[in-house]
């Protein structure tokens, strides 16, 4: 059987098994097993055991369950619920008023969460009832929340950045730092869109609340202090070089436990639920990573990465056209796979081509995060859309439609970082890591 026929067989097997509803991690391992049996004399069981153990025992990966647990603690305690009260007084003077709480709230929570779905759910729980009660238009409330929730992937600490860093062998601390400016940029694009929309539709924005003195605003904002302290502790320890990403994640977990206990919102039930929620999510991610590592090994025996790299090179694409092609590829892939699966499935194949094209792997990591963000709001497998469907009871087509402007803004952000790569690379270059 030729290499092309075997590759076609494996791809067909992958989609057939995925379509039957088998877990993604087990699907990847099963397809890799088939490939090893067909293309290698090495025992598939031995290869699977060594590869899965190697991928699961990575010290770098230790940061992942800790950041997931920190997000789960914050999701279940009062720390997130107090944010709306602290943000609302400062948004009243902006065009669009309290619609900006979706963007600013997601940006702040993203800096202590790392998960897009958790950010969307937490801030949605906080803003949806308030904004709808005050008469803000549903299309804008839900659409801006769907888009802003994706900031959980871009603003560090980010789960998807850790996965990419492990898969592509890139410094996670540098990826975290590289995500700061693009994250702020994307939040500003979202807020700018809200302001322009509000200026064009002033009749749809409810009147502002009674004015408050500066002292009263500061008093209301005191509820933000615990979350800000946690952000400073986690990110400050990484950027100052005091702690690695894993050690900073441990600081974040300890800090979130202490703050929630000090506020009186931590009890044994919440502690147990947060720990079990983090364990379930991490086990799912770890299974996907293990299966993808085994599949990457199997693909190496077939020679698929080399063949794909040679094929793309033969097309003679410029780096810009390559970037556009990869963006289209990931947008289509994101309609069927979640972000973590997209990254671990493709990095082993694409990284040689990307490096050969002279694209900086740190820059490419931020690019990947941005296109994965787009996948969070594209049906049928858009996680943020699923979260919002559960919270609002709306149908997926409606949610996808109101999220469409955010999707186009993300494409604009990708083009911005392409033409001004320093937005991504400047900050990491200033840090000694």
Average pLDDT of span 138-163:
86
- Which tens digits make up the pLDDT trace of 205-257? 888 777 777 787 777 777 777 777 887 888 788 777 787 777 888 888 888 88
pLDDT of 410 reads: 92
pLDDT of 305 reads: 57
Of 39-53, 142-156, 403-417, where does mean pLDDT reach its minimum? 39-53
Q: Is the Cα torsion angle 209, 393, 140, 413 positive or negative in sign?
A: positive
pLDDT of 363 reads: 94
Check residue 240 and report its DSSP letter. T
Structure tokens at 12: 């067909």
pLDDT of 337 reads: 67
pLDDT of 364 reads: 94
pLDDT of 317 reads: 80
Distance separating alpha carbons of residues 253 and 215, to the nearest angstrom = 32
In the predicted model, is pLDDT for residue 340 greater than 70? yes
Residue appearing with tokens 């290499």: 3
pLDDT of 366 reads: 94
Q: Tell me the range of 20-29, 178-187, 216-225, 273-282 where mean pLDDT is highest.
A: 178-187
pLDDT interval class at 407 (50, 70, 90): very high
Distance separating alpha carbons of residues 25 and 113, to the nearest angstrom = 24
Average pLDDT of span 29-52:
77
pLDDT of 280 reads: 81
Distance separating alpha carbons of residues 215 and 162, to the nearest angstrom = 41
In the predicted model, is pLDDT for residue 418 greater than 90? yes
- Which tens digits make up the pLDDT trace of 371-384? 888 877 877 667 77
Asked if 132 and 138 touch (Cβ cutoff 8 Å), the reply is yes
Average pLDDT of span 340-345:
76
The angle formed by the CA atoms of residues 270, 272 and 276, to the nearest 5 degrees, is: 115
Asked if 177 and 154 touch (Cβ cutoff 8 Å), the reply is no
In the predicted model, is pLDDT for residue 321 greater than 80? yes
Asked if 257 and 73 touch (Cβ cutoff 8 Å), the reply is yes
Distance separating alpha carbons of residues 149 and 109, to the nearest angstrom = 9
How many percent of the chain have pLDDT more than 90? 13
* Residue with the larger pLDDT of the pair 314 and 274: 274
Q: What is the mean pLDDT of the chain?
A: 80
pLDDT of 381 reads: 61
- Taking residue 133's Cβ as centre, other Cβ atoms within 10 Å add up to 8
Average pLDDT of span 276-288:
78
In the predicted model, is pLDDT for residue 188 greater than 90? yes
Alpha helices in 20-76 (DSSP H): 24-39, 44-56, 63-76
pLDDT of 187 reads: 93
Average pLDDT of span 389-398:
80
Asked if 186 and 371 touch (Cβ cutoff 8 Å), the reply is no
Burial group, residue 13, by CB count within 10 angstroms (0-12, 13-18, 19+)? middle
Burial group, residue 139, by CB count within 10 angstroms (0-12, 13-18, 19+)? middle
Structure tokens at 16: 């057939």
Residue appearing with tokens 């289509």: 332
Of 44-48, 177-181, 272-276, where does mean pLDDT reach its minimum? 44-48
* Residue with the larger pLDDT of the pair 421 and 39: 421
How many percent of the chain have pLDDT more than 70? 88
Average pLDDT of span 296-303:
71
pLDDT interval class at 353 (50, 70, 90): confident
pLDDT interval class at 32 (50, 70, 90): confident
Distance separating alpha carbons of residues 21 and 24, to the nearest angstrom = 8
In the predicted model, is pLDDT for residue 429 greater than 80? yes
Asked if 252 and 238 touch (Cβ cutoff 8 Å), the reply is no
For residue 82, give Cα distances in angstroms to 19, 123, 127, 154, 234. 42, 10, 11, 23, 20
Average pLDDT of span 383-407:
83
């Amino acid at each position: 059987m030729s290499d092309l026929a075997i590759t076609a067989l494996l791809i067909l097997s992958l989609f057939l098994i995925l379509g039957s509803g088998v877990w993604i991690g087990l699907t990847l391992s099963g397809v890799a097993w088939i490939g090893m049996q067909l293309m290698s004399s090495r025992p598939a069981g031995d290869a699977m055991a060594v590869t899965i153990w190697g991928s699961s025992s990575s010290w770098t990966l230790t940061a992942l369950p800790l950041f997931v647990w920190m997000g789960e603690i914050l999701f279940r305690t009062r720390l997130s619920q107090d944010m709306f009260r602290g943000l609302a007084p400062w948004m009243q003077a902006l065009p669009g008023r309290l619609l900006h709480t979706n963007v600013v709230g997601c940006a702040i929570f993203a800096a202590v969460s790392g998960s897009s779905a958790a950010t969307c759910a937490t801030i949605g729980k906080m803003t949806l009832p308030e904004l709808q009660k005050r008469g803000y238009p549903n299309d804008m409330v839900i659409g801006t929340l769907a888009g802003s929730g994706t900031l959980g992937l871009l603003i560090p600490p980010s789960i998807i950045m850790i996965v990419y860093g492990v898969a592509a062998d890139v410094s996670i601390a540098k990826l975290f730092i590289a995500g700061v400016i693009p994250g702020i940029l994307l939040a500003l694009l979202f807020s700018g869109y809200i302001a322009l929309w509000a200026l064009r539709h002033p009749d749809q924005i409810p009147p502002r609340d009674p004015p408050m003195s500066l002292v009263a605003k500061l008093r209301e904002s005191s509820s933000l202090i615990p979350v800000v302290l946690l952000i400073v502790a986690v990110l400050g320890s990484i950027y100052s070089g005091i702690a690695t990403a894993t050690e900073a994640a441990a600081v974040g977990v300890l800090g979130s436990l202490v703050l929630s206990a000090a506020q009186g919102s931590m009890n044994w039930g919440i502690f147990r639920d947060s720990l079990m929620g983090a364990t379930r999510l991490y086990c799912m991610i770890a299974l996907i990573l293990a299966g993808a590592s085994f599949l990457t090994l199997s693909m190496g025996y077939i020679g698929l990465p080399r063949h794909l790299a040679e094929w793309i090179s033969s097309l003679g694409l410029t780096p810009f056209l390559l970037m556009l092609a990869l963006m289209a590829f990931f947008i289509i892939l994101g309609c069927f796979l979640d972000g973590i699966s997209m990254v671990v499935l493709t990095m082993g194949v694409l990284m040689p081509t990307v490096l050969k094209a002279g694209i900086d792997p740190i820059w490419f990591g931020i690019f990947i995060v941005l296109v994965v963000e787009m996948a969070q709001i594209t049906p049928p497998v858009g996680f943020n859309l699923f979260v919002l469907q559960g919270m609002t009871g709306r149908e997926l087509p409606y949610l996808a439609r109101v999220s469409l402007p955010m999707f186009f803004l993300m494409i604009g952000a990708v083009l911005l970082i392409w033409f001004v790569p320093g937005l991504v690379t400047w900050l990491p270059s200033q840090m000694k890591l």
